[in-house]
């Protein structure tokens, strides 16, 4: 079996070498170093063109996927960034700060310059619950919607948090007393 393998490999090598010496009917050899070099150069160009076009298609696919994700997060078209790189801020009638890419038409605005390296974009969470009225549960009667902009509701939230903290501390003491028995 070993000799048959050597014989087969030898026959194939002799057949390939003979293609460099045997001539076609037109007088040229079946294989030449020039034709191999030419063919390999053409194959290399085709592979390069194919890989660059594939890369461009992949980049377009990634951009389209990013655009689809961005549009699924928000109904409004999302600009890649403020074209001028400028943001204006001004204080409103009630003391709140407003930010925009255009200056305040009714008053003085402070111009802020944005550095793209300092900007971090994150996906927004679902905020639809903030726009709807709270539904009363079976255990509690909720009479008003809590707003983070209302100082009274913020004070109420802090008071409720303190009450919860006190109840948890009281329960922990009771559990420790029971476990000591």
Sign of CA pseudo-dihedral 7, 9, 13, 16:
positive
Q: How far apart are the first and last CA of the chain?
A: 87
**Rounded-to-integer distance, Cα 64 and Cα 68, Å:** 6
Read off the pTM. Answer: 0.26
Residues 61 and 91 in one domain: no
Residues 97 and 140 in one domain: no
- What is the tens place of the pLDDT at every residue in 2-11? 899 999 999 9
Per the structure, how many domains does the chain have? 3
Residues 11 and 67 in one domain: yes
Instruction: Tell me the C-alpha to C-alpha distance, in Å, between residue 107 and each of 85, 89, 90, 111, 123.
Output: 21, 11, 8, 13, 32
Residues 56 and 85 in one domain: no
Residues 41 and 88 in one domain: no
Residues 9 and 62 in one domain: yes
Q: Which range marks the domain in which residue 103 is found?
A: 79-124
**Rounded-to-integer distance, Cα 160 and Cα 136, Å:** 18
Q: Hey, which bits of 23-109 come out as E strands?
A: 86-91, 97-100
**Rounded-to-integer distance, Cα 134 and Cα 55, Å:** 50
- What is the tens place of the pLDDT at every residue in 65-115? 777 776 666 555 445 444 456 788 888 888 888 888 788 888 788 887 776
**Rounded-to-integer distance, Cα 146 and Cα 156, Å:** 9
Residues 59 and 83 in one domain: no
């Amino acid at each position: 079996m070993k000799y048959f393998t050597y014989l087969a490999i030898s026959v194939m090598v002799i057949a390939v070498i003979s293609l460099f010496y045997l001539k076609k009917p037109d007088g040229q050899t079946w294989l030449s170093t020039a034709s191999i070099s030419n063919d390999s150069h053409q194959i290399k160009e085709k592979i390069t063109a194919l890989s660059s076009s594939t890369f461009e298609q992949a980049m377009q696919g990634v951009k389209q996927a990013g655009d689809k994700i961005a549009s699924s997060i928000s109904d409004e078209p999302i600009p890649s960034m403020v074209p001028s790189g400028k943001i204006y801020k001004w204080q409103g009638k009630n003391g709140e700060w407003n930010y925009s890419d255009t200056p305040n038409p009714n008053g003085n605005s402070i111009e802020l310059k944005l550095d793209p390296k300092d900007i971090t974009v994150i996906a927004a969470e679902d905020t639809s619950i903030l726009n709807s009225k709270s539904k009363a549960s079976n255990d509690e009667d909720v009479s008003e919607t809590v707003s983070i902009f209302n100082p009274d509701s913020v004070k109420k939230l802090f008071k409720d948090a303190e009450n919860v903290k006190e109840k948890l501390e009281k329960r922990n003491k009771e559990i420790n007393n029971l476990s000591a028995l």
